[in-house]
Amino acid sequence: MTITTTIDREGARAIGPLPADHPPVKIQKIGVLLVNLGTPDGTDYTSMRRYLKEFLSDKRVIEWPKVFWYPILYGIVLNTRPGKVGKAYESIWNKERDESYLRTYTRSQAEKLGEALAGHPEIVCDWGMRYGQPSIDERMTALRDQGCDRILVFPLYPQYSAATTATVNDKTFESLMATRFMPAIRTVPAYHDEPVYIEALARSIEGHFSTLDYVPEKLIASYHGIPQSYFKKGDPYHCQCQKTSRLLEQRLGWEKGRLITCFQSRFGPEEWLQPYTDKTIEALAKEGVKSLAIFNPGFVSDCLETLEEIAVAGGEIFHEHGGKNYTHIPCLNDSEDGMSVIEAMVRRELQGWI
């Protein structure tokens, strides 16, 4: 029997003979998948409960044994938090597109990355979410269907944690477990100390400060927290956050103490990484600091934790305890500086493929 190989105009290759109803196997494309944490589909109770169920059922996020955690999750958390969190999302929802800003920015980042890589027609850029829609499995399948036999997965977290980067990688390979023709996979590592990232953060701070009619006395770098127990088990997240802050302070040329590293968004009874952002904001105001700036270097895109928890609630805490001027510096989002970071990391990790 003679085996033949043909390639059509779209780069689809078929090795014959094949059954008449067998689709051609498409290859010779390279996929780039940007993945962020996730977003609910809406702010209503049902959408929020569905999202929180998926998020808080992830063993990478909540490491307690299911026998202890699930009664709390299903008996208390999923009955009380959807309404509360839904109201918070409603306050920062992108009404124009009826979606969260995290979805808006992640889509835009993928589109702009595609434009930046337009000189490589073999590259297909896409985006997905670890929790919610579009799912990693859905977009991995779509990339394979478009002929991507090589895929670069980019977890959009500058600092590595098992609760963020690792769970994206888990879901990526889980998606491939039922795949016969498995593409080659690469994942983008943490980039907490990459010069292009530090420079982009510095430029965003300097640019924001230039718009103010006052000079912030202190700048808080607020990172998402993780439980202390995760850190003690060997998670490098805390060390990488500290390094980002140190390199940024050096780049800005500031004296030690003006930039303060804090951790936000703690959940549950465990002790989390400290100092806590909300407690630090309160303490600074009580100590007489009148002008405070805050930003979120661990978040690639603005979201609930930055827009509601920090920009709004953080400001309320500061003013309530005697502070006067409070400003939140937006995340890099899909800005020119933000895209320079994403593009630089993608181009580096695609070496040898393009």
pLDDT digits (tens, 9 = 90+) for 209-223: 999 999 999 999 999
User: Mean per-residue pLDDT for 185-209?
Assistant: 98
Q: Looking at the structure, tell me whether residues 98 and 212 fall in a common domain.
A: no
Same domain, 288 and 213: yes
CATH number, position 234: 3.40.50.1400
- Within a domain: 204: yes
Range of the domain at 281: 195-329
In a domain, 287, yes or no: yes
User: What pLDDT is attached to residue 219?
Assistant: 98
Check whether 12 has a pLDDT greater than 90: no
| Residue type at position 233 | K
Given this model, what pLDDT does residue 14 score?
A: 45
Domain co-membership, 130 together with 279: no
- What residues are paired with 224 via a beta bridge? 264
Q: Cα 85 vs. chain centroid, distance in angstroms?
A: 19
Place of tokens 């968004």: 265
Q: What percentage of the chain reaches a pLDDT higher than 90?
A: 91
Q: Does 318 reside within a domain? A: yes
- What confidence tier does 10 reach under pLDDT thresholds 50, 70, 90? very low
For 40, 159, 235, the CA distances from 63, given in Å and listed in that order, are 22, 20, 13
Helix (H) or strand (E) holding 129: strand 123-132
Query: Has residue 168 been placed in a domain?
Result: yes
220 shares its domain with 162: no
Residue type, 304: L
pLDDT value at position 56? 97
**Total number of domains in the chain:** 2
8 Å CB contact between 35 and 155: yes
The Cα 335–Cα 340 span in angstroms is 8
pLDDT at 20: 61
- Cβ burial of 116 (10 Å; 0-12, 13-18, 19+) is middle
Q: How far apart are CA 38 and CA 300, in angstroms?
A: 13
Cβ atoms 34, 129 nearer than 8 A: no
Pick from 36, 345, 41: nearest CA to 171: 36
85 and 149 fall within a common domain: yes
The per-residue pLDDT for 138 is: 97
CA dihedral 174, 178, 180, 181 (to 10 degrees): -40
Three-class SS state of 231 = helix
Residue 128 has pLDDT above 50, yes or no: yes
Answer whether residue 19 is part of any domain: no
Q: What's the first-to-final CA gap in the chain, in angstroms? A: 36
Written as six digits, the tokens of 252 are 């800005």
| Stronger pLDDT, 18 or 217, i.e. the higher one | 217
Is 249 in the same domain as 113?
A: no
Q: pLDDT tens for residues 319-340?
A: 999 999 999 999 999 999 999 9
pTM beyond 0.85: the answer is yes
Name the one residue in this structure whose structure tokens are 């050096």. Answer: 250
Tell me: do 116 and 141 sit in the same domain.
Answer: yes
Examine the domain organization and report whether 248 and 286 are in the same domain: yes
Q: What pLDDT does 19 receive?
A: 64
The predicted model gives 83-101 an average pLDDT of 96
CB neighbours (10 Å) of residue 151? Answer: 25
The answer to whether residue 2 scores a pLDDT higher than 90 is no
Evaluate if residue 268 carries a pLDDT over 90: no
pLDDT in tens, 303-317: 999 999 999 999 999
> Which pLDDT tens digit goes with each residue over 215-256?
999 999 999 999 999 999 999 999 999 999 999 999 999 999
pLDDT bin (cut points 50, 70, 90) of residue 7 is very low
pLDDT at position 16 is: 54
User: Are 178 and 139 in a shared domain?
Assistant: yes
> Considering the domain boundaries, does residue 11 fall inside one?
no
Same domain, 139 and 226: no
In a domain, 12, yes or no: no
Note if the bond before 24 is cis, omega within 30 degrees.
no
For residue 17, what pLDDT band results from cuts at 50, 70 and 90? low
Q: For the segment 44-61, what is each residue's pLDDT rounded down to a tens digit? A: 999 999 999 999 999 999
Q: What is the mean pLDDT of residues 256-264?
A: 97
Kindly state whether residues 99 and 137 are assigned to the same domain.
yes
Task: Flag whether 22 is in a domain.
Answer: no
- Looking at the structure, tell me whether residues 38 and 175 fall in a common domain: yes
